[in-house]
C-alpha cells in the first residue's frame, strides 16, 4: 500500500465539546487545532511505519485552515481551504489512492453521541439516505466507495465508531471520546494519539476487499432544514421536492448527484 488519503475533521477530536473550540476565530480553538493535528500526525506515522510513502491530508473542518502543517511528518501534503466542489471534505481523493482514513469524525445530526453532533450544515436538522440517518462519515465513505477506495480506519466519538462497525465491519475504529448528554468524557490526549498511531499502522495492512464500502444502487435522500424557508428555497433544485414544511426529498441512482445536491444546499 503506497498512497493514503486522510480526511480530518475536528468535532471528534479527543476532549472537544463546545462550538467555541471548533472555530478559528475563538481563543479556545488553538488547543484543539493542535490536538487535531497531532491525531492526524499519529495516523500518518502509523501508516508510514507500515510502508505508506505518500499521504494527502485534507483539512475538512469549517475554514479548512485548522491543521498546523509543521507538526505533520515531511512525507505528507496538506490540502487546505474549499475549492469548493461536490467532494467537499473529500476533495483531492481519486481512484489512485489505496485507502482512506477519517480522523476527528463525529456523530450525525439527530444522534446523541457527541455534544457537537451534526451532519454537514448546522442549519440542517438532519439528512437521511435510504431511510437511515446519515453522518458525514457515511456520506464520505460513499464518496470513497464511488472512487473504489477502501475505508481503513476511523477515529472519533464512540457512537460513530460503534455505527461504523455495523456499516463497515472490516474498518478499524478508534473511539477517543463519549458524549454524556451535552458533556463529553474522553481519553487522555496522548493515549488517544498512541491508539491512533497503533491502529492505523495495522489498518493500512488490511485487505482492500474487507474495507470496501458497498455503494447502494439507488439513493433516496431527505434533508430537513431548521428554517422552513430554506426547505422552500431548496425545493426548486432540479429533481428536489418539498415533502414537509422543513423537508425536501431527492432520488437518484448516481451518488455523484447526491454530492451535487448537498453542494448546492
DSSP 108: P
Report the nearest approach of Zn ion to the CB of residue 11 (Å). 5
Contact residues: Zn ion, CB under 5 A: 9, 11, 61
Nearer to Zn ion, 64 or 72 (CB): 64
Nearer to Zn ion, 16 or 212 (CB): 16
86 Cα distance to chain centroid: 14
Report the nearest approach of Zn ion to the CB of residue 211 (Å). 23
Nearest to 124 by CA among 220, 248, 252: 248
Nearer to Zn ion, 66 or 234 (CB): 66
Nearer to Zn ion, 9 or 39 (CB): 9
Nearer to Zn ion, 11 or 157 (CB): 11
Report the nearest approach of Zn ion to the CB of residue 12 (Å). 8
Nearer to Zn ion, 9 or 158 (CB): 9
Contact yes or no for 257/231 (Cβ under 8 A): no
- Distance between CA atoms of 209 and 192, rounded to whole angstroms? 27
Question: Would you tell me how many other CB atoms lie within 10 Å of the CB of residue 184?
Answer: 20
Report the nearest approach of Zn ion to the CB of residue 200 (Å). 20
Nearer to Zn ion, 61 or 260 (CB): 61
Residues 6+ apart with CB under 8 A from 201: 46, 47, 49, 50
Quickly list H helices, the chain: 29-49, 136-146, 158-167, 189-203, 208-211, 228-234, 255-264
Report the nearest approach of Zn ion to the CB of residue 160 (Å). 12
**Residue owning grid cell 455495523:** 166
Report the nearest approach of Zn ion to the CB of residue 22 (Å). 6
Report the nearest approach of Zn ion to the CB of residue 202 (Å). 26
Dihedral, CA atoms, 138, 7, 259, 213, nearest 10 degrees?
-40
Interstrand relation of 247-252 and 219-225 (parallel, antiparallel or unpaired)? antiparallel
Across 17-110, the runs of DSSP E, i.e. the strands, are 54-59, 76-79, 99-105
> By Cβ distance, which residue is nearest to Zn ion?
61
Amino acid at each position: 500500500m503506497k498512497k493514503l488519503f486522510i480526511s480530518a475533521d475536528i468535532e471528534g477530536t479527543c476532549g472537544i465539546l463546545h462550538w467555541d473550540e471548533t472555530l478559528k476565530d475563538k481563543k479556545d480553538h488553538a488547543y484543539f487545532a493542535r490536538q487535531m493535528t497531532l491525531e492526524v500526525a499519529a495516523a500518518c506515522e502509523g501508516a508510514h511505519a507500515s510502508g505508506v510513502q505518500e499521504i494527502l491530508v485534507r483539512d475538512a473542518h469549517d475554514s479548512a485552515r485548522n491543521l498546523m502543517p509543521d507538526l505533520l511528518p515531511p512525507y505528507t501534503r496538506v490540502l487546505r481551504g474549499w475549492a469548493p466542489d461536490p467532494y467537499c471534505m473529500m476533495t483531492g481523493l481519486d481512484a489512485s489512492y489505496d485507502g482512506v482514513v477519517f480522523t476527528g469524525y463525529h456523530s450525525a445530526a439527530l444522534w446523541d453521541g457527541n455534544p457537537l453532533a451534526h451532519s454537514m450544515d448546522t442549519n440542517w436538522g438532519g439528512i437521511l439516505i435510504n431511510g437511515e440517518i446519515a453522518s458525514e462519515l457515511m456520506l464520505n465513505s460513499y464518496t470513497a466507495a464511488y472512487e473504489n477506495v477502501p475505508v481503513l480506519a476511523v477515529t472519533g466519538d464512540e457512537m460513530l465508531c460503534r455505527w461504523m462497525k455495523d456499516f463497515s465491519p472490516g474498518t478499524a475504529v478508534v473511539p477517543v471520546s463519549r458524549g454524556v448528554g451535552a458533556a463529553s468524557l474522553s481519553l487522555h490526549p496522548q493515549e488517544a494519539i498512541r491508539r491512533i498511531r497503533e491502529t492505523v499502522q495495522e489498518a493500512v495492512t488490511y485487505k482492500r476487499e474487507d474495507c470496501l464500502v458497498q455503494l447502494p444502487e439507488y439513493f433516496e435522500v431527505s434533508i430537513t432544514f431548521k428554517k422552513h424557508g430554506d426547505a422552500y428555497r431548496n425545493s426548486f433544485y432540479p429533481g428536489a421536492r418539498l415533502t414537509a414544511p422543513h423537508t425536501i426529498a431527492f432520488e437518484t441512482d448516481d451518488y455523484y448527484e447526491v454530492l451535487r445536491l448537498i453542494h448546492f444546499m
